[in-house]
Structure 1
Amino acid sequence: MCFLIVVVELIQSLVFLGNSTNLVRYFLKYMHYPIAQSSNMVTNFVGISYLLTIDAGYINDSYLTKLTAFVLYATIELLGVILLTYQAKNPNLLPPENETPSTFQAAILYIGLGAMAIGIGGSKATMPTHDADQLEHNKHGLISSFFSWYYISILSASILAATLMVSIEESYGRGWSFMISTILLCCSISIFSAGFSLYRCKKPSGSPIKRMVKVFVASTGTTNDIRTVEVHQNAKEQSYAKEKSYNKFKFLNKALNDDTIEVAQVEETKSLLGLLPIFATTIMLNCCVAQIMTFSVQQGDIMNRKTFNFTITPQSISLVPLVVVLVFLYLLEQSKSFYGNNEAINKIYEPHVRMGVGLVVSSVSMAVAAVVEYKRLKEFNEGNLMSAFWLMAQTLLLTFSDVNVVGGMLEFFYSKAPDGMRNLCTSLPWCSTAMGYFFSTMLVTACNSVSGRFGQAWIGGQDLNQDRLDLFYALLSFLSFINFIVFVFFARRF
């Protein structure tokens, strides 16, 4: 049953990543938007898609079952892709050569992209929680393995998107790429629906935001007397309150003076507050990951990409690291069956440990990127072209880091989240990705503004050969290391 759902996630990720990879070329060649605007449109599309997971997570926790939610979101995404397919196949809905789209043509484009973003965000918020709900919560090994296989499906989709989907668009055009996406989405809905009779399905528990607001309001009472739960609560609930409820965020304990608020509501609020600082420390990682889609590609364009008389594309450089990390995850899962009872080995698999390792590696990856870029500039100034394959080192480290942090976050947030907030909390890793992309843009702007006052903006020109991208990477490495220290501080106190 979980295998069925992992296949659905692979298809969903293939559609999302395949379109994200090729959209910038579609905006340039078909819609005739300028380069800068096309790049910003893609970044905004990806960022908004991930950011919408928070809204979808809230809706799922409050109103919809996960079965209804996925079918609804996937259908909205399908309608968006169908609209974009129709536009790409209909010359009347495309702008003439060297002209930007009319208002009507742009409206169709943005409606299609908006529907896709809603569907993607909803699916990302629904699938991990629904899948993990099919397993027994006391079997942590199975849940950990599921999240590993879940991320393996995403990596597999990344590889297929960078090869199969790119090849289809280059050979047959964007219309065919959209059409294949339509077929794949229909398949994913059909495969998911085939398991309806087998799935465990939990009913929504009402708005978690309302419950949290009620706790906050009640905790602002003027009385300083923190009393135990009233007699109408059972003994087990009272014991739980005395042992655990008063240890963290003690100011919220005053909410227990309200007879309408239960201990579980206070604990729910405290759990989410405890997760937020850990969530915040992952944004810096995603800021680093954003560099793979931007500056690393631009670096590859001006480096030597020839091998055995064959020139590779800058995007293809990430394929080898993706395959290496995919094999690593597979071997890691296989090792669990051999060392599953070893306590020392099991600690390595703990999600917060994996997240810490990933954050350290992200700092190292940016340090390596700084060294590689410094060396590339030196070679260029001497009249030589450095091999683009040197970029694989930073890409491999950053991919390894991303896998550990995102995979660890999904498992950690799911296992630590209250029952009534699992969809919302499991959406936080994707929200972190969105905020990382937006933070990257802000950081680049800030660096150029500050460095420009001292002579030359680090990355403010039109050519990386005249910029100092190595200094920007070094800054990211330093900030990532500080971020890791902050993560350790909060993780030890969770």
Structure 2
Amino acid sequence: MLYIGLYLVAAGVGGIKGSLPTHGAEQFDESTPQGRIKRSTFFNYFVVCLSAGGLIATTFVVWIEDNKGWKWGFLISTMAMLLSIPVFLLGSGFYRNKIPNGSPFTTISKVLLAAIINSCSGKTTSNAVVNMATSPPSVSTQKSSDTKSKKGQEKTSENESLETQTQSFKFLNRAVNNTPVYTALKCTTKQVEEVKVVLKLFPIFASTIILNCCLAQLSTFSVQQAASMDTNLGSLKIPAASLPVFPIVIIMVVAPIYDHLIIPFAREITKRETGISHLQRIGTGLVLSVLAMAAAALVEVKRKNVAIKHDLVDSTKPLPITFFWIAIQYALLGSADLFTLAGMLEFFFTEAPSSMRSLATSLSWASLAIGYYLSSVIVSIVNEATSRGHHKGWLSGGNLNRYRLERFYWLLCVLGGVNFLNYLFWACRYKYRSTGSKK
């Protein structure tokens, strides 16, 4: 029953995190600069709200579970979710609701299958079917179009860009055929171009996975480090398991500063609506993650030197060094998470076709999940590769002071640096589709 409950929670959280960012962002008028600026603010505070929930969960709910029992913790969480439903529904009369028009997975699968089957059958792509929107406008049409609203012009421009066949991913152009092998696999140019747009997002998505590998260390080795240090704050003893509160608080503090101070200042310099571009924001997060791993390695060296100096390498006593040293890597990784997650959500939302925005924003959470799983894989590989004969692996054994954790952190630092270079390669070649990102 416990696992059933956990899987149901995972399914519910997946639905909320996959749909809510897109639903919230669509409430703003993306045809105006002010609307796009407010939408950017929404993504910042969406991450803040997630952090606020995490703060309550890791403090108040944990305290309830420790002092009153697990059933009270689960009960409070359940009641909070039940209460959120009517609160959400109260605004249903004011929401801008997008009419569903099919699953993006259906479109992607259809285009890929059509391209493969048409290639195998020897049929060539036909360019005979071209949407009238791609034809050169007449003089009278041009005059009438000049009187349209800016919103209408932008929508027409977006449609035209998707209804004109491009030469990227040429193989997929084979999906467009007047006489397909199977009529159910008949694809339009727009569908093919939408799939191409999503595929172009994948290099950026893949470049953020290593960052989430680094984030995974906050709840594993960083907690073990803190547990071996002096966790007293005056007369108060801080549980090592509560240290993940640090990055949460950092996000809640930095987000308003970023939105109300840094961005307006950057906007004056760059003359860009968003201050810095979405890709620059993601890149900033990647750089911060590299710095965080370097700081973590240096702190670990200092921690082990203290253990050696006081002859406490094999002792279970707390080391005479404050756990606030660990706060450095927590602060850097918390800031990295804010820059990257909010940047990814906005980037994927604005660049994806309107019919695939929920799928695109979900890539942010997929990156997080893959990063955490990959972290476990990297730890296993490192232990296997570094264990020779009687020598244990870098991260093997029950004594943290005997670990080579600083080497592992340096490894992540190097991987993060190489990953950032890979990110620069793709980011410098990416061409924005959205209006707000171009200005």
Q: TM-score, normalised by structure 2?
A: 0.82
Where 1:459 maps in the other structure, the secondary structure is: coil
Distance 1:241 1:162, change over 3 A: closer
1:337, 1:466 → 2: CA distance?
A: 45
CA displacement 1:452-479 (0-9 Å, x = unmatched): 0373300011111111111111100000
- Higher Rg of the two aligned structures: 2
Q: Which amino acid aligns with 1:433?
A: L
**What is the identity, as a one-letter code, of the residue corresponding to 2:129?**
E
Q: Tell me which of 432, 436, 453 is aligned to 2:371.
A: 436
Among 121, 134, 153, which residue is 1:236 paired with?
Answer: 134
CA distance in 2 between partners of 1:467 and 1:242 (Å) = 54
The aligned residue for residue 417 of structure 2 is 481
- Alignment partners' CA distance in 1, 2:355 and 2:67: 48
> How many angstroms apart in 2 are the aligned matches of 1:110 and 1:153?
27
Contact 1:447 1:458 in 2 (8 A): yes
Q: Counterpart in 1 of 2:332?
A: 397
Which one-letter code corresponds to 1:236 in the other structure?
A: T
1:211 has 2:110 as partner: no
SS in structure 1 at match of 2:196: helix
Equivalent residue, structure 1, for 2:352: 417
CA-CA distance at 1:226 after TM superposition: 5.6
Taking the aligned partners of 2:100 and 2:293, their CA distance within structure 1 comes to: 42
Cα 1:242–1:112 shift into 2, 3 Å: closer
- Corresponding residue for 1:175? 71
Consecutive aligned runs of 4 or more in structure 1 exceeding 4 Å deviation: 222-227, 241-244, 336-341
Give the counterpart letter for 2:115 in structure 1: S
| Alpha-carbon distance between aligned partners in 1 of 2:266 and 2:402, rounded to the nearest angstrom | 52
Q: CA deviation at 1:268?
A: 0.8
Question: Shift in Å at residue 487 of structure 1?
Answer: 1.1
The 8 Å contact of residues 281 and 487 in structure 1, kept in 2 or not, is answered as yes
Q: Deviations over 1:289-313 (max 9, x none)?
A: 0100111111111111122132111
2:170 matched residue in structure 1: 250
Identity within the alignment, %:
37
- Deviation, 1:327, is 1.9
Q: CA deviation at 1:153?
A: 0.8
1:280-429 mapped onto 2 (5 Å cutoff): 280-335=206-261, 338-339=264-265, 342=268, 344=270, 346=272, 348-383=275-310, 385-429=320-364
- Contiguous gaps of at least 5 residues in structure 1: 1-107
Partner in structure 2 of residue 78 of structure 1: none
Q: How does 1:127-142 map to 2 (within 5 A)?
A: 127-138=20-31, 139-142=35-38
**1:278 matched to which residue of 2?**
204
Write the distance in 2 (CA, Å) between the matches of 1:482 and 1:224: 42
The one-letter amino acid paired with 1:278 is I
Partner of 2:54: 158
Whether the aligned pair in 2 keeps the contact of 1:237 and 1:263 (CA below 8 Å) is no
1:448 matches 2:347: no
1:356: how far off? 0.4
Q: 1:366: Cα distance to partner?
A: 0.4
How far residue 320 of structure 1 moved from its aligned partner, in angstroms, is 4.2
Q: How many residues align?
A: 386
The verdict on how the C-alpha distance between 1:315 and 1:353 changes in structure 2, with shifts beyond 3 A counting, is same
Say if 2:282 and 2:339, in contact at 8 Å, map to a contact too: yes
> What does residue 463 of structure 1 align with?
399
**Of 96, 111, 118, which aligns to 2:11?**
118
Offset, 1:336:
7.2
Quote the Cα distance in structure 2 between the aligned partners of 1:302 and 1:158: 24
Going from structure 1 to structure 2, the CA distance change for 1:278 and 1:382 (only over 3 Å counts) comes to same
Change (3 A) 1:457 1:115: same
**Which structure has the highest helix share of the two?**
1
Cα distance in 2 for partners of 1:418, 1:225 equals 26
What is the CA–CA distance in structure 2 between the aligned matches of 1:237 and 1:425, rounded to whole Å?
30
Q: CA RMSD in A?
A: 2.3
Q: Structure 1 residues 170 and 224, CA, compared in 2 at 3 Å: closer, same or farther?
A: same
- Whole-angstrom CA distance in 2 between matches of 1:202 and 1:324: 35
1:228–1:241 contact (8 Å) kept in structure 2: no
Displacement of 1:186 in angstroms is 1.3
Q: 1-side partners of 2:244 and 2:162: how far apart? A: 52
Between the aligned partners of 1:137 and 1:242, the Cα distance in structure 2 is 18
Normalising by structure 1, report the TM-score: 0.73
- Which amino acid in the other structure matches residue 425 of structure 1? A
Find the aligned partners of 1:480 and 1:339 in 2 and give their Cα distance. 29
